[in-house]
Structure formats: structure tokens, C-alpha cells
């Protein structure tokens, strides 16, 4: 759903840099997508495929999308252990109370691209 | 050539939101971003809330909607200034859209500005609109599974209004489970039971707004 809008933002960020450097082509786009960032890797792939049909000058059908997954991790503020959160993000599996804070998994970044 | 950018995808939105936040602070306007599924009762609750507050506060509403002006008309009928944003199919409001509507208001004259986001429990949660408070509405007919299914929304809101509690006797929604699920995702969030149609619980919501106004 909103992956179309997000991919639009991604292409805008890359497009500005591409223009600055006078590149004409982007071969590869690398994103960091956290597991709890609310962006779905499959939908991002699909959105890029759609943008490829919309004659964006620096995209062609071979532009590759690489998604680096950032695992969700949380730390309990009671026992200080780190854990992989399940659906109930804040519940520490050791203490069994909502004492955890997410420490990773929310990132959503354009990490890099390959241009020429 | 590989170019490392390491840039936040929502950076543009976040800077527009920061601009809005400054404007809202300057004009001393309390801004509340209301989010829910379609039909959870955002507009109905706003109509009632405006009636409760209209004597003491100047109220503005930004109505996010896919295509129509129906909700904005309902809000105007309730007595508040309303501006419609049609997203033309877009599933959320972003800070730039909100910034464009601001010239339609005289912010200095608006005490409380509500933003009715597009009905959707996924996309709106990621977009900062410069608001002071994010509030989610969940309604009883949607069922208990919505809190665990949309953790990002419930993690990023500080208050959940459980609406349509007049329907609790007819449906198998369990309020204690909802509270437990919510605390499990966001221990800082609160659940408040209301019915926008019967008015039950609305008083507590209105007091919450008044307190938020005092500490804006
Ligand atoms: N039974 C009941 N129905 C409600 C309540 N609040 C809203 N509704 C109904 O739910 C429907 C959708 O409400 P609306 O305010 O348009 O939802 P929105 O899409 O979130 O703005 C309407 O038919 C309302 O009358 C409530 O507290 N109890
Ligand atoms: Mg509505
Ligand atoms: Zn613990």
C-alpha cells in the first residue's frame, strides 16, 4: 500500500544525488529495512517494478533492489537481558512483564546505490 | 560507483513535520492526530467532541479522506472550522499535505486542531505530522486481534480510545485482553472505553483533551 509512496521517497533521495553527480544510470539500490518499520520488502520490490515502467530516467529494467534486513531486538529494563521480541514487543520472556524497549528493528534507510 | 547515503527514507517528511511542530508551538495550538481503521468512529467522535468543547475552545479539523468531502461537511455542521485533504487514493496523510492546508486556518485563533487521518491502521503510523499527541481509535466490532496484528500503530500512539462499547454485550470482544495486549506492545499507552453515539466515556476523553491543552 504505502510502499508506492515510500519507494517514491527513496527514488527522490537517490535522484537528487544522481543529478548532483551527473550519473545517468542506477544499477543497484540498497535499503536497510527494520522488521518493525512497517515497510514490507515484497511490496517495496513490487513498487520498484511499477516505477520502472514509469520512465524514470535513471532506472532501467536491470536496476537491482537489495534489502538488508534489520532484526528486531529489545532490551528488558528490569533484568537487562536482550531478547527477540514476539508479537507483544515489550514483554520480556524472562520477566514476563512489559518491561522491554526496542533497541533495533525500526530503521528504514536508503543505505547506498551504485550509479554511473 | 557505489555511493553510501545512509539517509532516512522519511527524512523529508520529518523535516516538514518539524516545521509544523514549530508553527503549532508558536501559535499555542494543541494538535491531535487521530488514527483508526475506516469506520471505527473518528468522525462521529469528533462531532461529539466538538459539541463538548465548542463553548470554551476554538476548534479546527483537518479531514484526511481518499476522495470525498463528506466528513468535512459533518464537522462543519458540528460547528468547527474544517479543511479537507483529499489524498486521491493515498492511504495516509503526510506532513507536506498538512503544511499545505495550514494557510486555510488562522492558527493564532485555533486552540485545538484535530487531524482525522485516512482510515488505515498501517500507513499513517509512520508519518509524523508535527502533532503533539497521536491517538488511535479501535472499535469493538473490529475484534481483539487488531492490537497484536498492528503493533506499530499501537506502539506509536499514547492513547487508545476503545469505541462502540455500547456493542460489548453483543460481541465477543474482551476488554481485559485488549488492555493486556496493549500493555504488552506499549506499556506507556492507555485504553479508554467510550461510545461516540451514546456518549458513555466521552467525558473522560474530553478531560484528557483539556489536560493536554493545559500542558501543550
Ligand atoms: N454503535 C455504535 N456505532 C458507532 C459508534 N461510533 C460510530 N459509530 C458508527 O460507525 C459508523 C462509522 O463511523 P464514522 O464516524 O464515520 O467512522 P470513521 O470512518 O472512523 O470516521 C457510523 O455508522 C457511526 O454511526 C459507537 O460508539 N457505537
Ligand atoms: Mg471519517
Ligand atoms: Zn526481563
What SS3 class is residue B110?
coil
Atom of ligand 1 minimally distant from the CA of B44: 15
Q: pLDDT tens-digit profile of B26-38?
A: 999 999 999 999 9
Do the chains contact at B126 and A38, CB–CB below 8 Å? Answer: yes
Residue A105 with chain B: CB contacts under 8 Å: none
ipTM of the assembly?
A: 0.90
Domain for residue A13, yes or no? Answer: yes
Q: What is the pLDDT of residue A1?
A: 59
B37: CB partners within 8 A, 6+ apart: B119, B120, B121, B138, B139, B142, B146
In CATH terms, is domain B11-214 a member of 3.40.50.300? Answer: yes
Q: Which carries the bigger pLDDT value, residue A5 or residue B143?
A: B143
pLDDT in tens, B91-150: 899 999 999 999 999 999 999 999 999 999 999 999 999 999 999 999 999 999 999 999
**Contact residues of ligand 1, CB 6 A cut-off:** B 36, 38-44, 119, 163-164, 166-167, 195-197
Structural domain contains residue A80? no
- Would you say residue A97 lies in a domain? no
Question: Is residue A21 situated within a structural domain?
Answer: yes
Residues B197, A69: Cα–Cα separation, whole Å: 44
Residues of B in contact with A87 (CB under 8 A): 148, 151, 184-185
Count the neighbouring beta carbons within 10 Å of the beta carbon of residue A55: 7
State the ligand closest to the CA atom of B200: 1
* Nearest CA distance, B169 vs chain A (angstrom): 27
- CA dist., res. B54 & res. A111, Å (int): 48
CATH code at position A51: 3.30.2320.50
Distance, in Å, from the CA atom of B151 to the CA atom of B147, rounded to the nearest integer, reads 6
Listed by start position, the domains of chain B span 11-214
The verdict on residue A82 lying in a domain is: no
Label residue B66 by pLDDT band (50, 70, 90): confident
Residues of B in contact with A13 (CB under 8 A): 5, 7, 9, 11-12
At residue B98, the pLDDT reads 97
Stretch A26-33: mean pLDDT? 98
Q: Is residue B67 helix, strand or coil?
A: coil
For A64-103, write each residue's pLDDT tens digit: 999 999 999 999 999 999 999 987 888 999 999 988 999 9
What does the block give as the cell for A41? Answer: 520488502
- Nearest protein Cα to ligand 1, atom 23: B39
Q: Which ligand is nearest to the CA of A90?
A: 3
Cα(B138)–Cα(B73) distance, rounded to whole angstroms? 23
The model's confidence at residue B164, banded by pLDDT at 50, 70 and 90, is: very high
CA nearest neighbour of B41 among B158, B210, B149, B202: B202
Count of domains for chain A: 1
Residue A61 domain-assigned (yes or no): yes
Q: Do B138 and B161 touch, CB atoms closer than 8 A?
A: yes
Query: If you average pLDDT over every residue of chain A, what do you get?
Result: 94
Does residue A76 lie within any of the structural domains?
no
Cell, residue B107: 492558527
Domain that holds residue A18: 3-71+105-115
- H helices of B112-201, in order, are 146-149, 151-155, 175-185
| pLDDT tens digit sequence for B195-210 | 999 999 999 999 999 9
From atom 8 of ligand 1, which residue's Cα is the shortest distance away? B41
Q: Is A80 on the interface with B (CB under 8 A)?
A: no
pLDDT at A113: 98
> Do residues B125 and B37 make contact, with C-beta atoms less than 8 angstroms apart?
no
Interface residue of B9, B147, B149, B181 to substitute, partner A, most A CBs within 10 Å: B9
- More confident call, B153 vs A38: B153
Helix residue ranges, H only, chain B: 11-26, 42-53, 70-78, 95-101, 146-149, 151-155, 175-185, 202-214
Q: What is the pLDDT of residue A38?
A: 86
Query: Which range among A10-14, A37-41, B24-28, B173-177 shows the weakest confidence by mean pLDDT?
Result: A37-41
Q: For residue A77, is it within any domain? A: no
State residue B188 phi and psi, 5-degree precision. -85, -10
Amino acid at each position: 500500500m504505502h510502499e508506492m509512496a515510500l519507494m517514491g521517497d527513496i527514488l527522490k533521495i537517490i535522484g537528487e544525488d544522481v543529478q548532483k553527480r551527473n550519473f545517468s544510470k542506477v544499477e543497484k539500490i540498497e535499503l536497510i529495512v527494520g522488521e518493525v518499520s512497517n515497510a514490507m520488502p515484497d511490496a517495496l520490490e513490487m513498487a520498484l517494478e511499477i516505477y520502472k515502467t514509469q520512465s524514470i530516467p535513471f532506472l532501467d529494467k536491470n536496476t537491482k533492489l537489495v534489502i538488508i534486513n534489520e532484526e528486531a531486538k529489545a532490551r528488558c529494563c528490569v533484568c537487562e537481558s536482550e531478547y527477540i521480541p514476539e508479537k507483544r514487543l515489550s514483554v520480556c520472556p524472562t520477566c514476563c512483564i512489559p518491561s522491554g524497549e526496542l533497541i533495533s528493528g525500526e530503521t528504514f534507510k536508503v543505505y547506498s546505490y551504485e550509479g554511473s | 560507483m557505489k555511493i553510501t547515503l545512509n539517509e532516512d527514507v522519511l527524512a523529508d517528511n520529518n523535516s516538514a513535520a518539524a516545521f509544523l511542530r514549530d508553527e503549532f508551538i508558536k501559535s499555542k495550538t494543541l494538535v491531535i492526530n487521530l488514527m483508526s481503521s475506516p469506520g471505527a468512529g473518528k468522525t462521529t467522535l469528533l462531532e461529539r467532541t466538538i459539541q463538548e468543547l465548542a463553548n470554551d475552545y476554538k476548534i479546527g479539523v483537518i479531514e484526511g479522506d481518499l476522495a470525498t468531502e463528506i466528513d468535512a461537511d459533518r464537522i462543519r455542521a458540528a460547528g468547527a472550522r474544517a479543511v479537507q485533504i483529499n489524498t486521491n487514493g493515498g492511504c495516509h496523510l503526510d506532513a507536506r499535505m498538512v503544511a499545505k492546508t495550514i494557510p486555510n486556518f488562522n492558527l493564532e485563533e485555533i486552540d485545538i486542531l484535530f487531524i482525522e487521518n485516512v482510515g488505515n491502521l498501517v500507513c499513517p503510523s509512520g508519518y509524523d505530522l508535527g502533532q503533539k499527541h497521536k491517538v488511535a481509535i479501535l472499535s469493538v466490532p473490529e475484534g481483539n486481534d487488531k492490537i497484536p496484528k498492528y503493533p506499530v500503530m499501537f506502539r506509536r500512539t499514547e492513547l487508545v480510545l476503545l469505541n462502540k462499547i455500547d456493542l460489548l454485550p453483543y460481541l465477543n470482544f474482551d476488554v481485559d485482553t485488549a488492555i493486556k495486549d496493549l500493555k504488552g506492545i506499549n506499556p506507556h499507552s492507555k485504553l479508554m472505553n467510550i461510545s461516540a453515539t451514546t456518549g458513555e466515556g466521552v467525558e473522560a476523553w474530553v478531560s484528557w483533551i483539556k489536560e493536554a491543552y493545559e500542558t501543550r
